[in-house]
């Protein structure tokens, strides 16, 4: 067994098996009890789409006596703001959504839960992928790579991974299809090479990319159920591929919920300045108002949802619509 594999086994409590290596994590120790996570990023104020995702995650866990981890994905240091971090706690408390593991406040997060404390774990997985010849250095900008201007050149150049200002990318097979089973939608096929070609493993800032950190964290914390938006279905496929290539026995149930859109048809986005729950609260929105809007997003117009308990009582996976209603046209300064 290579040194990199041994390193990863040590960090993630692996045990070797004949002719293979199988990850025996908390997923197996807690296999009879669902464990999921809230995984927000402190890169903007949370909006109604985030709230809906939290609500689905929370209800799915609480209906099955499951556990919820609060994991804050903070490796994007350029967009991190202390006020965005605090907004995560404020919004969850405002909505009445609790969790069982993870930081209780910003100070606890900084001391004990920031992803920067797990960099060695992420590097261990990167070491495994490098040892298998799956990573290559790429000096292209995101736009150049997306436009296909130099992507083939970087893959064929075989630049040293120590090349300055180079990201590390995964070397994907041609026409790679990943099968994903979704709790709501059943079998899904993801054409990974087409939707996320040679995705980034480590950024030019030498920090692990989302796909690596998210996979490692889910394994590290024993997550066995993941709720995320439909736009992250390619990420599910990417992380499944990484787990397979690293020799991990990765058994997770997935639920990909539909996305929330503004009245104009654009997806709600923190980075694009979508109206935040924080702003709505400042304009007078109550917990009841927000829960009513969450229910309308989900298409539950005939049900009076005024709090987390109401949502929990009504929620069923098979009631999730294929498409969410659009967020009502709201302007900044609206009085509730």
Mean pLDDT per 10-residue interval, the chain, length 336 residues:
53 36 34 89 94 97 98 94 97 98 97 96 97 94 74 82 95 94 94 95 97 96 96 97 92 92 69 77 94 90 93 93 65 48
Predicted local confidence at residue 260, as pLDDT: 80
Helices 210-220 and 233-245: angle between axes, nearest 10 degrees: 70
156 burial via Cβ count (<10 Å: 0-12, 13-18, 19+): exposed
Which whole-number Å values give the CA distances from 165 to 13, 169, 205, in the listed order? 33, 13, 8
Task: List residues bridging with 136 in a β-sheet.
Answer: 169
State residue 249 phi and psi, 5-degree precision.
Answer: -90, 95
Q: How far apart are CA 268 and CA 313, in angstroms?
A: 26
3-state secondary structure of 178: strand
Q: What is the dihedral of CA 236, 242, 244, 248, to 10 degrees?
A: -100
Predicted local confidence at residue 206, as pLDDT: 96
Domain parsing of the chain, residue ranges: 15-116+210-319
Are 336 and 284 within 8 A, CB to CB?
yes
The CATH code of the domain at 15-116+210-319 is 3.40.50.620
3-state secondary structure of 209: coil
Are 69 and 38 within 8 A, CB to CB?
yes
Helices 287-297 and 82-95: angle between axes, nearest 10 degrees: 90
> Residue 150 gets which letter from DSSP?
S
109 burial via Cβ count (<10 Å: 0-12, 13-18, 19+): buried
Taking the model in full, what pTM does it have? 0.87
Host H or E run for residue 68: strand 67-70
Q: Look up residue 57 and give its two tokens.
A: 């995650």
Predicted local confidence at residue 20, as pLDDT: 28
Q: How far apart are CA 204 and CA 161, in angstroms?
A: 11
**Which among 233, 272, 280, 237 is positioned nearest to 256, based on CA atoms?**
233
Q: How far apart are CA 106 and CA 192, in angstroms?
A: 36
The sign of the torsion formed by the CA atoms of 41, 44, 46, 52 equals negative
């Amino acid at each position: 067994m290579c040194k990199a594999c041994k390193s990863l086994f040590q960090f993630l409590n692996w045990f070797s098996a004949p002719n293979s290596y199988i990850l025996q994590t908390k997923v197996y120790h807690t296999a009879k009890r669902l464990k999921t996570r809230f995984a927000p990023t402190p890169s903007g104020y949370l909006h109604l789409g985030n709230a809906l995702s939290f609500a689905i995650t929370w209800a799915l866990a609480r209906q099955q006596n499951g556990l919820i981890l609060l994991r804050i994905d903070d490796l994007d240091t350029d967009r991190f703001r202390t006020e965005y971090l605090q907004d995560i706690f404020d919004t969850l408390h405002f909505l009445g959504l609790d969790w069982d593991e993870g930081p209780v406040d910003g100070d606890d997060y900084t001391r004990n839960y920031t992803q920067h404390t797990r960099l060695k774990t992420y590097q261990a997985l990167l070491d495994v992928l490098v040892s298998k010849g799956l990573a290559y250095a790429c000096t292209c900008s995101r736009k150049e790579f997306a436009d296909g201007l130099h992507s083939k050149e970087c893959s064929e150049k075989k630049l040293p991974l120590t090349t300055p200002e180079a990201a590390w990318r995964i070397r994907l097979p041609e026409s790679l299809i990943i099968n994903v089973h979704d709790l709501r939608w059943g079998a899904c096929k993801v054409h990974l090479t087409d939707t996320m070609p040679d995705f980034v493993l480590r950024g030019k800032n030498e920090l692990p990319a989302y796909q690596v950190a998210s996979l490692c964290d889910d394994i590290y914390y024993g997550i066995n159920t993941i709720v995320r938006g439909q736009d992250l279905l390619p990420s599910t496929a990417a992380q499944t591929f990484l787990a397979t290539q690293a020799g991990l026995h990765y058994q997770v149930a997935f639920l990909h919920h539909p996305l929330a859109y503004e009245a104009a048809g654009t997806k709600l986005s923190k980075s694009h300045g979508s109206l935040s729950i924080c702003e709505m609260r400042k304009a007078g929105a109550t917990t009841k108002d927000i829960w009513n809007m969450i229910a309308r997003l989900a298409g539950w117009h005939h049900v009076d949802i005024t709090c987390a308990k109401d949502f929990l009582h009504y929620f069923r996976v098979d009631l999730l619509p294929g498409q969410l209603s659009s967020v009502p046209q709201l302007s900044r300064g609206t009085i509730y």
